[in-house]
Amino acid sequence: DWEFPEILVPDIRDKPTILTLATMSSNAYVLPGDIDWRNVTYGDNNPDSNNGDYNTSFGVGWEKPGVRGHVFLSDDNSTVILALKGTSAAVFDSGSETTPLDKLNDNLLFSCCCGRVSYLWTPVCDCYQGSAYRCDGECIERELIRNDRYYKATLNIYRDLARIYPHQNIWVTGHSLGGALAALLARTYAIPAVSFEAPGDLLAAKRLHLPFPPGIAPGEEYIWQFGHTADPIFMGVCNGVGSSCSLGGYAMETACHSGLNCVYDVVSDKGWHVNMLNHRIHTVIDEVLMDYDQPASCVNPGPCVDCFNWRFDKKESKESSKASSKTSSTVSLESPT
């Protein structure tokens, strides 16, 4: 049976709250004292917004390449917020020591099949079945839950936090890859998540067989995905031969998000054009979140399907292939997702 306990959640209608979470997501990329580190406290005249001071923090994951970020504590120690770093890469910024692993996990989480876009690409896992648009679905599932992948590392960080702060409210936030990991973590442990400019995470959530409680509206799952219409990664259009992502070796093929989408229509409102530079978290904070009077409305994105032209069959062994060839020329199994 499903249990639905009452929990404290961010006030997503409150602009200072959204700015605070976005700034935490920005700070997840750097260490305190760095020129890009920003104070996370914004003025707030709304006494019901739960937007306090969060200037006490400590880093997680900085001792080696992998999942990184910071943990922010409210002044009254009642709320703990985990902010996860997104992709560090030359296509987005100057890159860092985490770039190779960031790229591997991007291509694993947000591509249809291991980042295998064409024969010119080197896949990040061995799940492609050798013919056009066929992939071993169970193989991808195994790859996603490997201990050296970012999803498992994120779960380990959360478990440590929950052990240290057993009675506090724990929220999670992040930008880009960090935002998608935040959404996956939130769905795994039923905690609130607010993401910024995250790639589509729905395909990965289904491949991981994460819970989608029956009869529960997306708005009651406490996953809010903020983004704007001029970001090709958030909109799921950073793909194709000439795209910035493809030129950088990133197979960003997903567009579907879980939870609610909170979208700023900067293309219509500001006349912006879709551009990779609009994905940067500082651009999002300074020119979108700060500029609008109120946060974007969060709505159910509706039906959405990624990789519709792919078949995710179970890979046959040589023995079963020989046996089945006696009675049938093809064997097709249903997708595990």
Q: Which residues are catalytic?
A: 176
d(Cα 141, Cα 139) in Å, to the nearest integer? 5
Closest CA to 54 of 31, 77, 37, 36: 77
Task: Count Cβ atoms below 10 Å from residue 95 Cβ, excluding itself.
Answer: 15
d(Cα 156, Cα 262) in Å, to the nearest integer? 28
Q: Is 209 left (phi over 0), alpha (psi -120 to 50) or beta?
A: left
d(Cα 188, Cα 168) in Å, to the nearest integer? 18
What are φ and ψ of residue 265, in 5° steps? -85, 75
